[in-house]
Structure 1
């Protein structure tokens, strides 16, 4: 017994040392990101908010010597307003730590089911994936620039929890409710929580902060998840109305003009714009893409993404469905910064999980790719994100990856068995069938 206790204490000390080392390396990496990107986006946004506070207007602010200003919604401006009283590095660190928590939450949601399926510790998997994600360019750019893309990522991922467990949890709840007959307000709140009735709240909040996540409401309608779509729409509308009450002039200006100024923060041909519009603008050597060409291919990408997402939902893989919609929105949208390419992370996770499932002999539909092919694609996608962002932007690497994954990302078929099924033994029928039947 003493030897066993001594071994347990030694293992506990080893885990504590590894966690401390991981925490230290995480802080060093965040410091490196903040120093490298200098919180330039957050600096512009806070300067615009200060201009708004002193009465000059939120959207009249311009960077020194440039025609570019801040492109943030009134909801986001109200969220960031308390940070104006802090020094820029302190504000950046607070936003970075919040983004780190949102990233860990999202990875727990995305990788948790796969960890359980393969018999691995969810905590260890999440910590490992967090360390790998912090090396990826979209995460580094989001933290270093002081953007909120990771927070939006976490909000959207939170809705996956509700959508996954809605059916099973609702059945369990109604059985217990019929047995107890509890109709109190507290019981109703528990029912909403445990049955996933709050699905759509995260998408609605993210859609009120930025326009991109609103595409997921269209997906929820296409996949006939009308209750979640209605919840998301009501949430986004309610938050926007609260912003209208708090800042009526800025809210009207945002929805009336500023939202449609797609080149407000930078020209569309800027190398940092990794959307289809940015690629076309650079190919044509102009500050903006040819509108008809961009709209035609953009609508096609959105249609492919929504159709494939609906098929993934029908096969039970909500994670792949959300990822396909987000990738399609990032590829077809007018402006996609490296930070907004954050949904490449779950795409790489899906490819890696597909490779593992095929390596273990899981019964899956036929594919042109083998397990080695999926593993190589996942490694290539992760290597692209780890590379210097400037090099990836010069090659239009993120844009090409977004477009390819919208058309080729696989999804898991949960209606198939998770392990190879044995061939059933044929037995003689108890009642012979008719001849020729």
Structure 2
């Protein structure tokens, strides 16, 4: 038996033990987060959807103590309706495990190319990145409060994969649709999947389930991905029309009034709101920020993020491009609780992959702040300022340019191509 096979057989039990220990630690952390945050967001959604299934209006529910109401689109309410039939803790566990799976898949997409580029093994780096991300406040809040932000994050990251495949297909000059239309449907679907033709579906689904991912629809258009933007818009409209078909009263109520209530879940001045609107409202000591100031600064910040995202994509860094859109969207949106600051994590990953030591030091400091206790972060508006600074200063990595082929030396004695020199 070769030596490599013997080493693999010896390492297999160790890997199994490490995977089992990692799984148990993950479950313990999820249980800790659920206990600490108490599924506060899911409790409101769970009760509102349950009353809605019983015949009441979805947006008429108010939590007895905080008076918070449901703030989810009808399409997401329909998707989460089966969870309302379960006890709250069981629903929280299912949503948390789905979020952990989405986080792990996102780590594969974001950290896998880094390992490949540096000649490292992909699995240890991916698991390490996922483990570090699990300890940060955005992930803790998303899992513990029972929010779907990790699932939405995974949907948008799926579009990043599709754009990678689409760009690779264009580089190979592969057609978007097979020329032979007589092929079976399964072959054409498989070809379309491999070519990345489904780019935009993830962002479209995320935009139909939440408000903040709507910025990715405009982002795809600015990035020059018109087909992906059209696919995303078509997907979002289709899912919204399906919600109108199954829940017409709630859909009309959502777009007619609930969507435009900026403080429908909690006051804008709440310390957890790390969006630009929340910072301005707290500085002005008013229930709402000055509208013109907020819109002017927010539009400028969004424009900077979109322009820099286009430059990052042109340089070949899709991760930085999507991250810049996510950072600008979180900063511009009226409500950005800690769970919606998830795009700070790929921003730290981009900084960590930089070749400059100063940026790596900033990565360590930024990660320490994301793991720090919540009052320290929110009391000084640290995440809000991080969103603003990274939107304007996040670097991107330039794709390596293949070296030109060396010129072929001309033979000293010209010989016909394919011929040979024979002796006299």
TM-score normalised to structure 2 length: 0.91
2:385 corresponds to 1:404: no
For residue 18 of structure 1, report the CA deviation from its aligned partner: 1.1
**Aligned counterpart, 1:140:** 140
Summarize the Cα distance change of 1:65–1:199 in structure 2 as closer, same or farther, 3 Å threshold: same
Instruction: Report the secondary structure of 1:59's partner residue.
Output: helix
Deviations 1:347-405 (Å, cap 9, x if unpaired)?
A: 00000011xxx2xxxxxxxxxxxx11110111111111101122211111110110000
3-state SS in 1 of match to 2:353 = helix
1:34-433 to structure 2, matched below 5 A, reads: 34-169=34-169, 171=172, 173-174=174-175, 183-354=183-354, 358=355, 371-414=356-399, 416=401
- Residues 302 and 329, structure 1, Cα contact 8 Å, conserved in 2: yes
Match of 1:23 in 2: 23
Contact 1:275 1:336 in 2 (8 A): yes
- Contact in 2 for aligned 1:173/1:191 (Cα 8 Å): no
1:6: how far off? 6.0
* Structure 2 residues without counterparts, runs of 5 or longer: 410-424
Report the Cα offset of residue 8 of structure 1: 3.8
Distance 2:173 2:188 in 1: 14
Helix, strand or coil at the partner of 2:263:
coil
TM-score (norm 1): 0.89
CA contact (8 A) 1:278 1:289 kept: yes
Deviation at 1:159, TM superposition (A): 0.6
Q: How many angstroms does 1:67 deviate by?
A: 3.8
Q: Which residue of 2 aligns with 1:368?
A: none
CA distance in 1, matches of 2:94, 2:65: 29
CA separation of 1:181 and 1:227: change in aligned 2, threshold 3 A: closer
Deviations, residues 136-177 of structure 1 (Å, cap 9, x unaligned): 100000000000000000000001111011133354654995
Q: Distance in 1 between matches of 2:38 and 2:80?
A: 17
Q: Deviations over 1:107-163 (max 9, x none)?
A: 111111111111112222111111111101000000000000000000000011110
Asked if structure 2 preserves the Cα contact closer than 8 Å seen for 1:315 and 1:415, the reply is: no
Query: Which sections of structure 1, spanning at least 5 residues, go unmatched?
Result: 359-370, 428-437
Alpha-carbon distance between aligned partners in 2 of 1:188 and 1:181, rounded to the nearest angstrom: 8
Note the alpha carbon deviations across 1:63-94, whole angstroms, 9 max, x for none: 11444211111111111111112111111110
Q: CA RMSD in A?
A: 2.1
Q: Matched residue of 1:169: which SS?
A: helix
Counterparts of 2:278 and 2:363, CA distance in 1: 25
- Structure 1 counterpart SS, 2:59: coil
CA distance in 2, matches of 1:115, 1:415: 15
Using the TM superposition, give the Cα deviation of residue 211 of structure 1 relative to its aligned residue in structure 2, in angstroms.
Answer: 1.3
